[in-house]
Structure 1
Amino acid sequence: MDKNKGKKIGVAGNHTTTIDLISNLLHHGYKIDCIINIASSLDGKVAGYTDLGSFAKKNRIKIIRPKTYGLKSEYDKKAIGDLKLDVLLVCGWQRLVPEWLLSTLTIGAFGTHGSWKPLPYGRERSPGNWSLLLGKDTFIDNLFKYDSGIDSGAIVGSIQFKLSPFDTIATYYHKDQLVQQTLLLKHLPALLSGTFNYRMQPTAKKAFLLPKRTEEDGVIDWNWKTEYIFNLVRAVTRPYPGAYTFLKSKKITIWNAIPFHLFRSFKTKRVGEIIAAFDDSTFVVR
């Protein structure tokens, strides 16, 4: 049985989540015709970059190494255009899909995006990081069809899932990936046959764009509330650069943290003062 229905599927991505997505599709009998994965020479532009070369070789999947992350070079246009793809699945690709590429796809490009509120709220940057940082307890993931805008395409399906205080950005990605796989397996047959239903995003609501986060945004201000510092640490831990502080001129990255309440006498200490340090390299800060 041809699960692809004679259609050619490509995947664009640069993360381990891209591998998980492709592996799941292969397991369920779909054929992936190519992977678009930037070369390691461009990896400085991608947090948590993963080279998919060995994975592609192992699974006998053609790999395209674009010259630019924005897919703007003539090489990119020819190499990808010559594939004559019907569907492009986007996972772990932190750039817009250019209009020239959208125009070559007979069915379209599809990916997921969401936030703690329904779209168009929360378009653009780092929705998982922002959700954890702000202490949100739910996330709505949407499978949508790419257009020329920023996460503005028609929605094919949505799933809401829970976030807990125990979640980090790593566990968020696991949840998000499972939801993405569920959405794709449910809707991919209809996508490939061109019979899928969709709903347009509300135009009456003003889109709220989440701002870009950079490594510099991980610096801790010890005057912040304990809960906010805790949320920052779990929101930017691995695979991101991590939250950090300085001891004199030495940068200290904090990968894990938990609110620590013990003695009232701690309140007499200065904000940002190390109250205790232990042999296992953990420490307590006021």
Structure 2
Amino acid sequence: MLAHDPDWSLDLIVTLELAAASRHSDFVDLADAASQSGAELLRTLNSNNPETLRAIASANVDFIFVIGWSQICREDFMALKPDRIIGYHPAALPRLRGRAALPWTILLQEPITAGSLMWLGQGVDDGDLLDQQFFHVAPDETAETLYEKHQSALAQMLERSLAKIAIGDIARQPQDPRYATYAAKRTREDGLIDWNDSANAIDRLIRAVGKPYPGAFTFNKDDRFTIWRSSVLPSDRVHHAIAGQVVERSEDHFSVMTGGGLLRVHDWETASGKAPKQHAVLGGTGS
């Protein structure tokens, strides 16, 4: 958007070193974007290190946009362009400040969320709002579909916000701290399925941590088993089995007893490439 707006130029793109790309499941290499827009490309491991700060200062830009960057911008970074650093947060701020906002949106069953453009402040996602784009969260929303909705929201907000900033119309709406909530960091291991949970809760976890994230997982003995897509079966399907036990299977799916109802698994992958056998019991830690 910046590269194509006639009132703006994109002079520098700062992105992650390729050697560190595996740290982020949604990493995208921006080399092509830099080449197409004529921007200089700088790869770094830390946006707060002196070399990176000098490069940004030397670019002599009017505004800095921090989008899709998981590191906190420290004091020296913030001093580069005071009150002119814009960030994006994938939540309806001041709700869900912090980490892993997309998975938490699904896990908390948020019916409505938003993308938020904000002026970076001194705290965590607490800066004045520049713009927000609200949208509904579907009952069967996945991390992948929610990610796409945020991409669309960001594009729409940038289109209208860039035009306004270019003519000096700069919005700054303070956040109301009375409505603030905070989302904790989530790790790969938080995707471990507890089959004592209900089928609805497990399906929600699978949707929340699916692609582009590492996925929800269980174990078939010592074989790590990642589940990408599932559905909850009607409550009139009665099977007597323990939580985690495979009660039926076909070539393209299998069903597992949970602590509340049956979960049908449609898309999965395993370390061994083998699907679980009928009556196998999933769970444990693989050790």
**Coarse TM-score class (shorter-chain normalised):** 0.7 to 0.9
Q: Structure 1 CA distance, aligned partners of 2:173 and 2:78?
A: 19
> How many angstroms apart in 2 are the aligned matches of 1:107 and 1:92?
19
Q: Alpha-carbon deviations, 1:134-193, whole Å to 9, x = none?
A: 222210322110122110100122222001023211111111111111112112123234
Quick check: 1:36 aligned with 2:14?
yes
Q: Which residue of 2 aligns with 1:46?
A: 24
Q: Which moved more, 1:155-164 or 1:256-265?
A: 256-265
Give the structure-1-normalised TM-score: 0.83
Quick one: which amino acid aligns to residue 9 of structure 2? Answer: K
- Residues of 2 paired with 1:84 and 1:218: CA distance? 43
Per-residue Cα deviation, 1:228-251 (whole angstroms, up to 9, x for no partner) = 111111111111000000000100
> Are the aligned partners of 1:107 and 1:192 in contact in 2 as well (CA < 8 Å)?
no
**Is 1:156–1:197's contact at 8 Å kept on the other side of the alignment?**
yes
Percent identity for Structure 1 against Structure 2: 28
SS in 2 for 1:255: strand
Question: For residues 216-273 of structure 1, what are the alpha-carbon distances to aligned partners after superposition, in whole Å with 9 as ceiling and x for unaligned?
Answer: 000000111111111111111111000000000100000111112376431x111100
Q: 1:189 to 1:100 in 2, by over 3 A?
A: farther
CA distance in 2, matches of 1:236, 1:33: 35
1:142 matched residue in structure 2: 116
SS at match of 1:121: coil
Shift of 1:27: 4.2
Is 2:229 aligned against 1:256?
A: yes
SS at match of 2:35: helix
Find runs of 4+ consecutive structure 1 residues off by over 4 angstroms.
Answer: none
Query: Letter of the aligned partner of 2:256 in structure 1?
Result: V
Q: 1:87 and 2:63 equivalent?
A: yes
CA distance, structure 2, for counterparts of residue 58 and residue 198 of structure 1: 32
Verify the 8 A CA contact 1:107 1:194 in the aligned structure 2: no
Give 1:206 shift. Answer: 6.6
Q: Give the match's secondary structure for 2:218.
A: strand
Residue 60 in 1 paired to residue 33 in 2? no
Matches within 5 A, 1:17-36: 24-29=1-6, 30-36=8-14
In the alignment, the residues of structure 2 paired with residue 26 and residue 43 of structure 1 have an alpha-carbon distance, to the nearest angstrom, of 24
TM-score (norm: length of structure 2): 0.82
Alignment-mate amino acid for residue 36 of structure 1: V
Structure 2 CA distance for partners of 1:26 and 1:76, relative to 1, 3 Å: closer
Write the mapping of 1:148-187 to structure 2, written as runs, cut at 5 A. Answer: 148-187=122-161
CA–CA distance in structure 2, aligned partners of residues 170 and 55 of structure 1: 22
SS at match of 1:104: coil
Residue of structure 1 in register with 2:255 after alignment: 284
SS in 1 for 2:232: coil
1:207 aligns with 2:180: yes
Please give the secondary structure, in 1, of the residue aligned with 2:147. helix
Cα contact 1:275–1:285 (8 A) shared by 2: yes
Q: Is the 8 A contact 2:10 2:38 kept in 1?
A: no
In structure 2, C-alpha distance between the alignment counterparts of 1:233 and 1:38, rounded to whole Å: 28
Deviation for aligned residue 1:57? 2.1
Does residue 102 in structure 1 map to residue 75 in structure 2? no
Matches of 2:225 and 2:95 in 1, distance apart?
35
Structure 1 residues 219 and 235: alpha-carbon distance in aligned structure 2, compared to 1, 3 A threshold: same
Alpha-carbon separation, structure 2, partners of 1:227 and 1:40:
38
| Greater CA drift, 104-113 or 248-257 | 104-113
235-244 or 160-169, which moves further after superposition? 160-169
Gap change, CA 1:212 and 1:141, over 3 Å in 2? same
The equivalent residue for 2:212 is 239
> How far apart are the structure 2 equivalents of 1:235 and 1:53?
29
Of 105, 108, 111, which aligns to 1:131? Answer: 105
In 2, distance between residues paired with 1:74 and 1:25? Answer: 26
